[in-house]
Amino acid sequence: MTFLDRQLGRFTMYRLVTLVLLALVVVAVVQSALGVLDSDIFPVDALLLTLAVMVATSVVVNYVVGRLIGARPHLESSIVTALILWFLYWPTTHGEQLAWLALVAALAQISKYLIAWRGRHLVNPAAAGVVLSVLLGWVTDWPIPFTGWWVASESLFWFVLVGALLVLYRTRRLALGAVFALVAIAVTVWWQLGVGAELTEALRFTLYSTPIVFFGGFMLSEPLTLPPRRAQQLGVAALAGVAFTWPLLTSRLFGEPWTTEPFTSTYELALVVTGLVAFALRQGSRTLVLREQRRLGDDVVEYVFDADRPLRFVPGQYVELDVPHARIDTRGRRRMFSVVSAPGREVVLATRHPEPGSSYKRALAASEPGDHFRVTAVHGDFVWPAKGPVLLVGAGIGVTPFLSQLAAHRGRDVVVVVGERAAQPYTTELEASDAKVLRLPVEEVDGDTIARLVPDLDQRTALVSGRPDFVDEVSRGLRRRVRRLRRDHFLGY
């Protein structure tokens, strides 16, 4: 695990995005005060007043609407949405304009409950708020402000780029951001060249005057509106790049932009389209009822749930479990778990409960049979190849995904290397499978040892699961020695 991983891992994704966006707010305000941003367009008082109105409206509306429909509002989610919207609309001190911006923020929060399915919103709330406000203004002829996306400026570019890279790195979605950026940049530069710009000028315009980096880093990357598999996510990123640049692309291809009133820009519509595509590829949420807890030794506890409908997943994928509770700490109310059980109505999860533990873990440990929880997402690509021999390497609680995988793939050529820690869970279950199980002290599990014990290593796909430091070390030792390498890592909101 790198130094950057350790530092970023201290924050939930919502907390990290909030802090990065707040840092960008500070940069923008300082630049305004110093005259780097045009103080006539971006006066400090207008920036701060607009920010206060949008944040306050978002928080209040999210809380009120959530309570009215019986949901538990998520504070940081509403703050993130408000901060994103702040960078899209021109700042103002005019009362009427502030009222319209408050309406946009309110629509964004309402969309989380209105454009939703089984408690999960389908479209990025900031984009939904913009689209709904544009439609409302078009139908009613009200003077609702249009977006300016002023975040796309030369003075802010490098700060936005660093922040976007931090978010994409933390969510392991750098490839997603890169695919979107490559498509959007290529189309925009191609359009610029078509209108007579030089290549250098076209690149400068694309990077400094279009919100490609901000869009990809802070909006497209939202996990709740992405499909579950990596290949699907990359496809959605490419689709977003095309939708984002649709007026430019069609203008270059056909001589005029193909747009539909009232939308002359397709930035926000791109997220609506990709959100709906992702929804079609995702499984809906599931309600889980706790049946029992089983202590597996030391601080490992297994939880057995009954689902209201069969839980569908590819063995090795992980689920996001929402545990509502009071006094939520910085780790949040959702956590990722590999599934021990096979797909179906019975859902078995296992986790450690270290002391003192997060508010999430304490609430989960205090749960009783009959308590209700919700699976809000199924994600991940830690799955077996369609054919060929497999090597599984895990330590501690990291062996949990192997149980569902072995149950689903009986008869395959599988070697399991278990790096045993104190009171290693699931050893008996692993040895009861038809895989070859090799048990070693965890400190002895490395690439050289595995190569000695598994002579046909170069023919196997290796899946490594466990603590990040264990996964990093073993993966380095196996790289270039195996046919393919997959790591089990999930860092969620």
pLDDT tens-digit readout, 340-388? 999 999 999 999 988 788 889 999 999 999 999 999 888 889 999 999 9
The residue type of 383 is V
CA separation for the pair 89, 72 (Å, rounded): 29
pLDDT of residue 324: 85
pLDDT at position 365 is 93
Nearest to 270 by CA among 290, 247, 287: 247
Residues 108, 111, 115, CA angle at the centre, nearest 5°? 150
pLDDT of residue 492: 39
Question: ∠ at Cα 490 (489, 493), nearest 5°?
Answer: 160
In this prediction, residue 493 carries a pLDDT of 34
Closest Cα to residue 120, out of 129, 107, 111, 132?
Answer: 111
* Ordered domains of the chain (ranges, CATH): 3-281 (1.10.3430), 286-379 (2.40.30.10), 390-487 (3.40.50.80)
Tell me what pLDDT residue 138 has: 95
- pLDDT value for 24: 98
What counts of helices (H) and strands (E) characterise the chain?
18, 13
Residue 12 confidence class, pLDDT cut points 50, 70, 90 = confident
- pLDDT (tens digit, 9 = 90+) per residue, 93-107? 999 999 999 999 999
Model pLDDT for residues 249-307, shown as the tens digit of each residue: 999 999 999 988 888 889 999 999 999 999 888 877 899 999 999 998 778 999 999 99
What pLDDT score does 148 carry? 95
pLDDT for the residue numbered 489 = 60
| pLDDT recorded at residue 358 | 85
Is 29 a residue whose pLDDT tops 90? Answer: yes
Q: Please write the tens of the pLDDT for every residue from 129-176.
A: 999 999 999 999 999 999 999 999 999 999 999 999 999 998 889 999
d(C-alpha 133, C-alpha 65), whole Å: 18
- Phi and psi angles of residue 327, each rounded to the nearest 5 degrees, phi first: 55, 55
pTM given for the model: 0.86
**Predicted confidence (pLDDT) per residue in 185-227, tens digit:** 999 999 999 999 999 999 999 999 999 999 999 999 988 788 9
pLDDT digits (tens, 9 = 90+) for 463-484: 999 988 899 999 999 999 999 9
C-alpha span between 31 and 45 (Å, rounded): 13
Say if residue 445's pLDDT is above 50: yes
Mean pLDDT score of the chain: 92
pLDDT given for residue 490 in this prediction:
47
